[in-house]
Amino acid sequence: EDALSITSRFVTGGMSLGALSRESHEVIALGMNRVGGMSNSGEGGEDRLRFTPIMDVDENGHSPSFPHLQGLKKGDSAASAT
């Protein structure tokens, strides 16, 4: 079985915004989106900025919109996929 088939079944446990920081939610979502898995974190109330692709990424992988995230690529998403 290839890696893409395996990672598409990865799912994080549901964690509310009250249980984890914004930064934690976004890092989990970014990682799961990159491997094609699903993140079940958040329950509403997330910053609307999370639901649009991150396009303001410089050559070092930094974004002024998400300064706490490192190693970004243009088009990354910090939105949880459920």
What is the model's pLDDT at position 82? 45
Neighbouring residues of 73: CB distance < 8 A, sequence distance ≥ 6: 57, 61
Q: Quickly state the pLDDT bin for 66 (edges 50, 70, 90).
A: very high
pLDDT tens digits, 1-50: 888 788 778 887 777 767 788 888 888 888 888 888 887 766 666 788 88
Q: Which residue has the higher pLDDT, 67 or 40?
A: 67
Paired tokens of 9? 């079944």
